[in-house]
Amino acid sequence: MKVSLAVIGGSGAYRLLADNHLGKESDCRTLKTPFGPSAPIHRFVADDLEFLFLSRHGETDYSITAPFVNYRANIYALKECGVERILSWSGPGIINTAFKPGEFVVPHDLIDETRSRETTFFKDTGIGFIRQDQPFCPEMRWALHESVHHSGVAHHEEAVYVCTEGPRLESPAEIRKLRIIGGDLVGMTLIPETFLARELEMCYAPVCYLTNYAEGVVPRKFQKGQLFEGMQTEAERVLVEESISKFPALLGNAFLALREMDRACHCQDAMRRYKDKGMIGDDWHRWIGPP
């Protein structure tokens, strides 16, 4: 299974899988890795476009919360499949009220507020000092922005994404802190995915659909048994469902744009200095520290 493009689907991905909205499936397998088994990896063909798809949170429901996703196994497995570019999606909350529920955003930067996740393949080794001037691949961000722009959906081309540990949601005071330090969006999934992909010299960029206002940003009454306990109105829920339904077309258009582009970004050379110094070779399997 050697495919250069992959999608990591976030909230709602399992519904697109179940409803056969991603194209014609030609293969599905779970890969064994030094970090345990990966999530199932599906191979799809849509028109003449081929890509892999991995549902981050499970295949039948939202069954794996963000802090317990096996990020290392998933990224390792995609690398093993020959993936060079990973497009991910997630559904963060809104800190900056310039953004609205149901809109799309292509983040350009991030803040790591996670606490206990394994964020590197290079544990107990002397490598891994990688510059993060652009945490997300600029070529993939351009393709994503072109896709959402030409689709005509409401969108923003920049945002600072704050990744928290979860699975609990944040308190009002925490959201005030995140606003002060420059956060626009708050979610739980893009870290460590983006760091792990860069360590294996893969391109990675997210597109986000905005699900709700974060705690304390807009007053909302507590509603027992509801999604987010009332942080999302019925009208916002409808907007979010419409956003999820647009993902197949958005992803396809972004991949078509990327297919016409040779990789000229720095992602593919993230480990170059270690290779030049002779600390690692070309076989990426040998870079990996102990699980």
List per-residue pLDDT tens for the chain, 291 residues long.
578 999 998 766 666 665 666 667 788 999 999 999 999 999 988 777 889 999 998 887 778 999 999 999 999 999 999 999 999 999 999 999 999 999 999 999 999 999 999 999 999 999 999 999 999 999 999 999 999 998 888 899 999 999 999 999 999 999 999 999 999 999 999 999 999 999 999 999 999 999 999 999 999 888 887 777 878 889 988 998 888 888 888 888 998 899 888 999 999 999 999 999 999 999 999 999 777
How far apart, in whole angstroms, are the C-alpha atoms of residue 7 and residue 16? 12
pLDDT value of position 226: 76
- CA dihedral sign of residues 175, 179, 182, 183: positive
Count CB-CB contacts under 10 A for residue 168: 10
The count of domains in the chain is 1
pLDDT value of position 224: 87
The angle formed by the CA atoms of residues 175, 91 and 258, to the nearest 5 degrees, is 125
pTM of the model: 0.94
Q: What is the 3-state secondary structure (H, E, C) of the chain?
A: CCCCEEEEECCCHHHHHHCCCCCEEEEEECCEEECEECCCEEEEEECCEEEEEEECCCCCCCCCCHHHCCHHHHHHHHHHCCCCEEEEEECCEECCCCCCCCCEECCCEEEEECCCCCCCCCCCCCCCCCCCCCCCCHHHHHHHHHHHHHHCCCEECCCEEEEECCCCCCCHHHHHHHHHCCCCEEECCHHHHHHHHHHCCCEEEEEEECCEECCCCCCCCCCCCCHHHHCCCHHHHHHHHHHHHCHHHHHHHHHHHHHCCCCCCCHHHCCHHHHHCCCCCCCHHHHCCCC
Domain of residue 114, CATH code? 3.40.50.1580
| Among 197, 209, 184, CA closest to 265 | 197
pLDDT value of position 8: 95
What is the residue range of 45's domain? Answer: 5-287
pLDDT value of position 200: 98
